[in-house]
Structure 1
Amino acid sequence: MQPGRRTVAGTLLAGLGTVLQVPEEGLGLVVAGRTDAGVHATGQVAHVDLPPDRWAALPGRSDLAPAQALLRRLAGVLPGDVRVHRAAPAPAGFDARFSALRRRYAYRVCDDPAGVPPLRRHDVLAHRRPLDVAAMDAAAGRLVGLHDFAAFCKRRDGATTVRTLLEYGWTRDADGFAVARVVADAFCHSMVRALVGALLAVGDGRRPPAWPAEVLAGRVRDPGAAVVGPQGLTLVEVVYPDDALLAERAAQARAVRTLPAGG
């Protein structure tokens, strides 16, 4: 939520408040991960705390289950650019943010000289130079692991920049776009877009394949690792452990991340 600005969280809360007839501030919306303005999400996860009587009353006179009734009613009040695909009572210990094991993002880039196809202009970044995806993939692999990603994060007071990058790779998809697959336990602010910017510099020949790892080791922002635009980035998936491990995972995730001695 951001005062005076339209956000997905604010839009969803307004829809829930209308459907449930509950004040928005009483719903306690928690999401798996924040997305910057212009970034998309097809796999976002959220939880809200609903009064039991409001949940039970959702079907009204219909024979729908409460979850089905909620989806149908939300579809009727939400704008066309926000949709809820599934709803269910959360298991004990579930926290949409802290129970997550990992988050997967995709970033799509078009290096076709003709530019981005018009129907994809909202979710694909245009890049004017041809990209060597094999070189980008090799360079990306050197960044995987537990590191201090200060060189690729916008610093925030009191926040750590230590993260575990589980996967980072580049391929060409069936449409010819260069697509990054980026998976981590969590991400700091602007991290994915900065990682993409560094690899675009490798792909178009401005930097050697070893350069992104050198920037990472330096732990200082490098102007050559530009933070690319938001439109190519999509949160695709959030993965959670088995129900019995949800609370334990949430407790682990709340702990401050640090590098091992000598790291």
Structure 2
Amino acid sequence: MSSPVRFRLGIAYDGTHFNGWAKQPGLRTVQGVLEEAVATLFRKSPVHPSFSVAGRTDSGVHATGQVAHVDLERAHVAALESTRLAQSTGRKADELLRDRLNGILGSYTDVIITSCDHAPEGFDARFSASWRRYEFRIADALAVKDPLQRHRTVWYGPELDVELMALACQGMLGLGDFAAYCKARDGATTIRTLQEFSWRRDADGVVIATLQADAFCHSMVRSLMGAAVAVSEGRLTSDRLAALLHERRRSGEVAVLPARGLTLLEVAYPADSDVAARADQTRARREAAELAEDASNR
């Protein structure tokens, strides 16, 4: 049997009416909608696709730069390229797959395929990634509260001290155990490298935080946001924010801010020739970290 063909897809979605990325029985999710679209496209020769993704976003979280991969049998690729449209225009399978899926998703859809190409050898959307970048938007007392932006912005009453939050968050950068800021998942490590945690106001006064890390664990970004807001409110000190990195369990001092303010902006990858090595390296590092955590918890 011939090996499947892997495609790399860029995806954007409004997370408002999705129950997160991951497929769940009886719930509308981004993965579920996309896999149904692929099944519809190849309904004459049934296919059971499975999307793997760079960032498994939670319910209500948005994305403009999500990345996933999906494997298709060569017969399905050939079926795409043998259509009348492909024959008359010379368009390739990756472009056809993008356009056909977007057609199935509809002209007023809340999820869209922004790009599609043949994945390089060894590419894995999750494990080949070098880093992920998120943005969180808060409209405080100084900001314009735009009803048209309410689905992607958290409205917050008091004025936030952006300079104080920015200073406090600098002490969290680097390699650390973010267990205090994560919801535990069995077998998952909470060791991450936080590369950026910056703050600014846009032209409308909206407070925008940008966070970048090699990876984020469950609810980590929204918990970090809650901790930073607590510093502005005076409920936590800057020193306490950093000290929580030495605790090995989730902290009750940290609130999780609403999902609607969070958007996955970008996922970065090494050069195509290096994606396989990066995936192997990430898997090995995660396994080593998880084994070390298991040993320390015995």
Structure 1 residue 129: deviation in Å? 1.1
Aligned 8 A contact 2:199 2:210 in 1:
yes
Structure 1 residue 34: deviation in Å? 0.1
1:189 is paired with a residue whose SS is coil
User: Which of 28, 32, 37 does residue 6 from structure 1 map onto?
Assistant: 28
Aligned AA (1:223): G
What is the rounded CA distance, in whole Å, between the counterparts of 1:92 and 1:165 in structure 2?
A: 28
Which stretch of structure 1 is more off in the superposition, 220-229 or 183-192?
A: 220-229
Aligned-residue sequence identity (percent) comes to: 50
1:121 is paired with a residue whose SS is helix
Aligned 8 A contact 1:42 1:236 in 2:
yes
How many residues end up aligned between the 2 structures? Answer: 259
Aligned AA (1:69): L
1:68 is paired with a residue whose SS is helix
Runs of 4+ in 1 over 4 A off after TM superposition: none
- What's the counterpart of residue 229 of structure 2? 200
User: Which of 135, 141, 148 does residue 106 from structure 1 map onto?
Assistant: 135
- What's the counterpart of residue 61 of structure 1? 84
What is the rounded CA distance, in whole Å, between the counterparts of 2:259 and 2:198 in structure 1?
A: 19
**Following superposition of structure 1 onto structure 2, how do residues 76-225 of structure 1 map, counting pairs within 5 Å?**
76-79=103-106, 80-112=109-141, 116-225=145-254
Which stretch of structure 1 is more off in the superposition, 222-231 or 131-140?
A: 222-231
Larger proportion of strand: 2
What is the rounded CA distance, in whole Å, between the counterparts of 2:68 and 2:141 in structure 1?
A: 37
Gaps of 5+ in 1: none
Using a 3 Å threshold, how does the CA distance of structure 1 residues 245 and 156 change in structure 2: closer, same or farther? same
Structure 1 residue 226: deviation in Å? 0.2
Aligned AA (2:262): L
Using a 3 Å threshold, how does the CA distance of structure 1 residues 171 and 113 change in structure 2: closer, same or farther? closer
User: Which of 49, 53, 61 does residue 39 from structure 1 map onto?
Assistant: 61
What is the rounded CA distance, in whole Å, between the counterparts of 1:129 and 1:215 in structure 2?
A: 25
Structure 1 residue 210: deviation in Å? 2.5
Using a 3 Å threshold, how does the CA distance of structure 1 residues 150 and 66 change in structure 2: closer, same or farther? same
What is the rounded CA distance, in whole Å, between the counterparts of 1:109 and 1:23 in structure 2?
A: 45
- What's the counterpart of residue 75 of structure 1? 102
**Cα deviation 1:111-143 (Å, max 9, x = unaligned):** 036873110111001111100111111111110
What is the rounded CA distance, in whole Å, between the counterparts of 1:86 and 1:250 in structure 2?
A: 21
Aligned 8 A contact 1:20 1:58 in 2:
no
Aligned AA (1:212): L
Structure 1 residue 241: deviation in Å? 0.6
What is the rounded CA distance, in whole Å, between the counterparts of 2:184 and 2:99 in structure 1?
A: 41
Aligned AA (1:55): V
Aligned AA (2:61): V
Give the TM-score of the pair, scaled to structure 2: 0.82
Aligned 8 A contact 2:143 2:206 in 1:
no
Structure 1 residue 218: deviation in Å? 3.0
What is the rounded CA distance, in whole Å, between the counterparts of 2:154 and 2:144 in structure 1?
A: 9
Give the TM-score of the pair, scaled to structure 1: 0.92
Structure 1 residue 172: deviation in Å? 1.1
Q: CA RMSD, aligned part only?
A: 1.9
Determine whether 1:19 maps to 2:46.
no
Which stretch of structure 1 is more off in the superposition, 163-172 or 143-152?
A: 163-172
Larger proportion of helix: 2
Aligned AA (1:14): E
Structure 1 residue 238: deviation in Å? 0.5
What is the rounded CA distance, in whole Å, between the counterparts of 1:257 and 1:188 in structure 2?
A: 16
What is the rounded CA distance, in whole Å, between the counterparts of 1:248 and 1:67 in structure 2?
A: 24
What is the rounded CA distance, in whole Å, between the counterparts of 1:69 and 1:175 in structure 2?
A: 40
Structure 1 residue 177: deviation in Å? 1.1
User: Which of 44, 51, 68 does residue 73 from structure 2 map onto?
Assistant: 51
